[in-house]
Amino acid sequence: MASTGAVQLGYPLYFLNLLGIWKILGVITVLIPKFPLLKEWAYAGFFIAMSGAIFSQLSSGNPLQKILPSLLLLILTLVSWYFRPADRKVNLTYL
């Protein structure tokens, strides 16, 4: 159960609710058209969440099998960000 794992890592249970809500909002943001800057923030949030999960598992001394799901999601996040369509990228020509 996810709550058991969070408690073992030292996180309070309310953190799971907060993280879950932000992840759902991030997925919606990535899937809807337009808002490229908001999409960049969503990808950054996914990267921070997954890299934080990896470091939490590593610092707890957990075996590789507990780290792999977070690592896979981090890799999928990076691949999705890198191969996103051009119309979903931030246009920096105005800066």
At 1, the pLDDT band (50, 70, 90 cuts) reads: low
- pLDDT at residue 21 in the model: 95
- Residue 94 falls inside a structural domain: no
The one-letter code for the residue type at 26 is G
pLDDT in tens, 32-71: 888 889 999 999 999 999 999 999 989 888 888 989 999 9
Nearest CA to 66 out of 74, 56, 57 is that of: 57
- Residue 30 falls inside a structural domain: yes
Q: Is the pLDDT of residue 30 over 70?
A: yes
Q: How many domains does the chain have?
A: 1
Q: Evaluate whether 39 touches 16 at the Cβ level (below 8 Å).
A: no
- Residue 65 falls inside a structural domain: yes
The one-letter code for the residue type at 94 is Y
- Residue 79 falls inside a structural domain: yes
- Residue 76 falls inside a structural domain: yes
Q: Is the dihedral of CA 45, 51, 53, 56 positive or negative?
A: negative
- Residue 16 falls inside a structural domain: yes
- Residue 93 falls inside a structural domain: no
What range does the domain containing 64 cover?
Answer: 2-85
- Residue 95 falls inside a structural domain: no
Q: Evaluate whether 49 touches 19 at the Cβ level (below 8 Å).
A: yes
- pLDDT at residue 18 in the model: 92
What distance in Å separates the CA atoms of residue 42 and residue 22, rounded to the nearest whole number? Answer: 9
